[in-house]
Structure 1
Amino acid sequence: MPKTIYSFLLLFFCFGCNKETVDPTPTETIYFPPLTGTIWETKSIASLGWKQPAVQPLLDYLELKHTKGFIILVNGRIVMENYFNGHSGTTNWYWASAGKTLTSTLTGIAQQEGILNINNKVSQYIGTGWTSETLAQENLITCKNLLTMTSGIEDIANGDDVSSANLQYKADAETRWAYHNVYVKLQDVIAQASGQSWNTYFNTKLRDKIGMDGVWFQSGNNSVYGSTTRSMARFGLLMYNKGKWNNTVILNETYFREATSTSQNINLSYGYLWWLNGKSSYLLPQPQLTIPGSIIPTAPNDMFMALGKNDQKIYVIPSKKMVIIRMGDAADNVNLALSDFDETLWEKISALYL
């Protein structure tokens, strides 16, 4: 082969390779809706290559199971947004224990501002005597223990009452995992550390910065958050983007990673008030029984979750670029954070794209 032709072919071949390398298909950026107004970009089922016939069975199941609001985001864009049973996009609904993750997030924000340290004991911020334990027992309890449900406080006998008389010793801190409403003491810690009311600090540092609506209200002994379904989706989107809203850091990534990773060696499926899918075992809120396997076997293993009574759900799935919100009444009678509803729901969600 003549040298000139060989050189031309080699140049052509290399040019083709370089073109493929330097001109890849653009990666879609994460979308963030404006802080005010109702504009929110959408993305169609067809554009994702999802299966349209799987949509109606999912919607039928959601309505059958007493759902009120349901949203799927992909890379921040709304793919599905549906309301049922008299609910609408402007109606507020309670988050129940899914709102624990709001307290976790505010704790991280307060720590990055240098006004608290989660490794410090709770009594350093709100004084001693906040429990009925001995001083030595109480001083073992750190803010991190409240984040990880390892305070050792009696979790069944006195229900959700967090008055000092009802916060009684069960075990030393860090030796026992038990789901308990005592985490709300972190709201008192933050109020004392910041010199502001909990509501003011929450609104200023989180709610208003990502365009959420909603309010905190008292329900029995609980401090509960209520908002629209889209506001819950905004928070899920923030956590999907590792604590950043657009280019603004709301929660630093170090704390985010700690919060959404195994936080202790007793319940591997629990972070800082976040549930974690795909671990080798988990504990349910009440029984002291380690159950082998993933919490929701039908869902992606990298999913982390905010779960609340009567099936309030925030699912964040990094590998699928998805955030999924479910608000409503209990799918099957009254239940706590976890139920069989999750497994069947995920079978129907997965049918959209598998």
Structure 2
Amino acid sequence: MNRFRKKLGLLFLVLITILCVVIIFNYPKLTILAGYSAKNMNSSVFIASRGVNYTDHNDNNFAPVHLADDTVDYKKKTATATVFGLKKRKAIYREGLGSLLIDDSFDENTPVLIPNRVKKPSGLSYPYGELDQKDTVFTNIDYDKVNKTVASIFDLKGEDVQKTRAVLVLYKDQIIAERYTDGIDKNSKLLGWSMTKSIFSTVYGVLQKQGILTVADKAPVKEWQNDARKEITINNLLQMNCGLEWEEDYGSICDATKMLYIDADMTKAQINKKAIHKPNEFWYYSSGVSNLLSGILRSKFDTYQEYLDYPYREFIDKIGMHSMLIETDMAGNYVGSSYSWATVRDWAKFGVLYLHKGNWNGDQIFDKEWVDYITTPSPTSEGDYGGHFWLNAGSFYPDAPRDMFSANGYQGQRVFIIPSKDLVIVRFGLIGDKGVDFNTFLKNMVSAVK
């Protein structure tokens, strides 16, 4: 009996040891998983006004994020998440700034500044104002094909494959198709993820138009001034061919996930990386670069309030994207890589702005040459990427026009701009190219315009 107890005790000790090793090995993953779940839950509930159950069953239901358990405090506007009860992460909501994933050192009671917003009714019809559009019928549009094409990208009842939430199609500034899945409508705010990169690219276009900087300028990063990195330009950053070390893999613990779910100041993640290539020699997608650009933007102003106001005052609110909200990190920087929310109709306004080369109903937001710049392929990107926009110059979508360019985000968020067809197509969902045949969708939509 004693021998049996000793063996049982030894077995128990071995199991505990194995469990401890597994926990220690996976603890960083639990930190990121809980952080993702808490942040996404808080944003969904307090920015997008969606419920806890809805978010659990739609936004946070994929592996391994589904392992997290969330609790929401509506009074304090907080969300907490744990994974197996081992790691607790907390996100808080702040009006005007959105949701913020915090760590134990963050003081929630510290007063904060918020962006000043100007939201004046224009008395114009959409997209240039808040009024409904007048019915317009184009004789060169095959409306039956348009509707069938839009329907084809949504799941049939009982399916859960394409996970499309919304599609909006504009031709010559007029809505020719609009559809939403259950629980989402034209007033729903949706997360653009990396479409935020294209928003911040546009801010740089405005800065250049106003003479505050040019993309040819050397990046003003003091940490780079004593080594080869001092040659990196803003253009290299926007085209993502600065040559700096970076890892972007959302299926693992990498530079990008640590930045988004651990770092207090996300603008610094890319700064401390070494140069492994010369500028213009190697293209690599980096969310760290986008947040570095947010930090450079902040350095251009004398006060923090000016930094907060600038994107809204000079661009976003000027084109009536009043639903848009860009979230900040713990250091107060806009998360230019990932965190912007707006309605589908407001995201479409962004596409219309580029369709008209920066001219918004007579107001030139950025120089028309800026469109030429952002649609010029970045060296070594094989025609797929420009100035923080994705391109089709390299025929990534072989049956779509080569002049198409787009703002792209995680899980298949898209604003497609097709100048040759006067089309803007917006799609939101919960899965990207692995679940959706965008090529066929675009082919059929384009062919519906004669």
Unaligned runs of 5+ in 1: 1-30, 280-293, 334-338
What is the CA distance between 1:215 and its match in structure 2? 0.3
What is the CA distance between 1:332 and its match in structure 2? 6.6
Contact 1:66 1:85 (8 Å CA) reproduced: no
Contact 1:115 1:194 (8 Å CA) reproduced: no
Distance 1:121 1:51, change over 3 A: same
Quote the Cα distance in structure 2 between the aligned partners of 1:235 and 1:54.
Answer: 22
What is the CA distance between 1:87 and its match in structure 2? 0.5
Unaligned runs of 5+ in 2: 1-123, 157-161, 248-253, 260-265
User: SS in structure 2 opposite 1:185?
Assistant: helix
Distance 1:53 1:273, change over 3 A: closer
- Indicate yes or no: 2:178 matched with 1:81: yes
Quote the Cα distance in structure 1 between the aligned partners of 2:311 and 2:145.
Answer: 42
Quote the Cα distance in structure 1 between the aligned partners of 2:298 and 2:312.
Answer: 12
Contact 2:280 2:380 (8 Å CA) reproduced: no
Structure 2 equivalent of residue 322 of structure 1: 423
Residues 147-181 of structure 1 show CA distances to partners (whole Å, capped at 9, x for unaligned) of 00011111215235253475333222222100001
Structure 2 equivalent of residue 352 of structure 1: 448
Contact 1:58 1:348 (8 Å CA) reproduced: no
Identical residues among aligned pairs (%):
26
- What's the C-alpha RMSD, in Å, of the aligned pairs? 2.6
- Indicate yes or no: 2:219 matched with 1:128: no
Residues 188-221 of structure 1 show CA distances to partners (whole Å, capped at 9, x for unaligned) of 2222214354431110011111100210125897
Structure 2 equivalent of residue 217 of structure 1: 327
What is the CA distance between 1:256 and its match in structure 2? 2.0
What is the CA distance between 1:298 and its match in structure 2? 1.6
Residue of 350, 359, 370 corresponding to 1:244: 359
Structure 2 equivalent of residue 22 of structure 1: none
Contact 2:283 2:380 (8 Å CA) reproduced: no
Structure 1 equivalent of residue 283 of structure 2: 177
Matches within 5 A, 1:140-219: 140-156=231-247, 158-159=255-256, 161=259, 162=266, 163-164=268-269, 167-181=273-287, 182-195=289-302, 196-212=305-321, 213-218=323-328
Quote the Cα distance in structure 1 between the aligned partners of 2:149 and 2:383.
Answer: 33
Letter in 1 for 2:356: N
Quote the Cα distance in structure 2 between the aligned partners of 1:201 and 1:308.
Answer: 23
Distance 1:331 1:272, change over 3 A: closer
Structure 1 equivalent of residue 206 of structure 2: 109
Residue of 118, 136, 144 corresponding to 1:43: 136
What is the CA distance between 1:141 and its match in structure 2? 1.6
Structure 2 equivalent of residue 261 of structure 1: 376
* TM-score after normalising by structure 2: 0.61
Quote the Cα distance in structure 2 between the aligned partners of 1:36 and 1:225.
Answer: 21
Quote the Cα distance in structure 1 between the aligned partners of 2:446 and 2:338.
Answer: 34
What is the CA distance between 1:270 and its match in structure 2? 1.7
Letter in 2 for 1:319: S
What is the CA distance between 1:98 and its match in structure 2? 1.6
Distance 1:32 1:303, change over 3 A: farther
What is the CA distance between 1:85 and its match in structure 2? 3.0
Contact 2:191 2:339 (8 Å CA) reproduced: yes
Quote the Cα distance in structure 2 between the aligned partners of 1:77 and 1:51.
Answer: 13
Matches within 5 A, 1:249-328: 249-279=364-394, 294-328=395-429
Distance 1:266 1:303, change over 3 A: closer
User: SS in structure 2 opposite 1:307?
Assistant: strand
Contact 2:376 2:386 (8 Å CA) reproduced: yes
What is the CA distance between 1:228 and its match in structure 2? 0.1
Letter in 2 for 1:40: Q
Residue of 135, 139, 147 corresponding to 1:55: 147
Contact 2:241 2:378 (8 Å CA) reproduced: no
Contact 1:42 1:79 (8 Å CA) reproduced: no
Distance 1:41 1:97, change over 3 A: farther
